[in-house]
Amino acid sequence: MNFKISNVEHYISPPGLNVDEILNAYGTSLADMKNALKNTVFIHKNSNKGFQMDLAKQLEEHLMILFGTGGSELYVGGYSPTMREKPDVAISRKGRPKKIFIEIEFRPNEHKDIVKFLIGYKKQTLELGILIVAMNREVINKDYSTMPEYNKCIQTIEELHSDCPILVMGIDGRWIPEQS
């Protein structure tokens, strides 16, 4: 079985942040990101890692292609010169000192990712943090009860009352038979 993303929701913090202005500077838009994810089939490789690990890796690759076609480049640095923490995907653009940091989270580490965004914001390395999570964990893996979900991530971000620019994207979909 493979997984097809059929719905992508988004939440922007702080309210009024013009995410498209930021994304346009990196050669894409929110609509482009949502469309690139929507209707994409991700292959379950039947590895010992579990599907959510395969999905996260394939999403990383998918996003690297999206940003690469817009003229942006992968960035190998992290949130802070003194931290060893690096995002799943970091995007840079010539002439822009700050970066887009993307975290794809299907493990119970979403709070850590939000803190990393805050550190990048305070260190002035982050232009936008993008957190991709499941809309409903049961669709991806009903047995994984600690998987972060979209609404919970939004609640956490709202409680922080921060000016840190964060885009949360929730994905939902369905399992489909493999094509022969």
Amino acid at 34: K
CA nearest 171: which of 142, 134, 130, 121?
A: 134
Q: What is the CATH number of the domain that holds 52?
A: 3.40.91.20
Query: What pLDDT is attached to residue 119?
Result: 96
Query: What pLDDT is attached to residue 39?
Result: 73
Domain containing residue 75: 2-176
Name the more confident of 65 and 180. Answer: 65
pTM over 0.85: yes
Query: What pLDDT is attached to residue 44?
Result: 76
List phi, psi (to 5°) of 66.
Answer: -55, -50
* Tens digit of each residue's pLDDT (9 = 90 or more) over 113-141: 999 999 999 999 999 999 999 999 888 88
Domains: count for the chain: 1
Alpha-carbon span 113 to 106, nearest angstrom: 12
What is the Cα 175 distance to its own chain's centre? 21
Query: What pLDDT is attached to residue 139?
Result: 84
Q: Phi-psi category of 11—alpha, beta or left, where left has phi over 0 and alpha has psi -120 to 50?
A: beta
Instruction: Indicate the pairing of strand 73-74 with strand 126-134.
Output: unpaired
* Tens digit of each residue's pLDDT (9 = 90 or more) over 42-99: 887 765 667 788 888 889 988 988 888 777 888 888 899 898 889 999 999 988 999 9
Q: How many angstroms separate the Cα of 163 from the Cα of each of 12, 17, 58, 66, 121?
A: 11, 9, 30, 27, 9
Structure tokens at 48: 């010992």
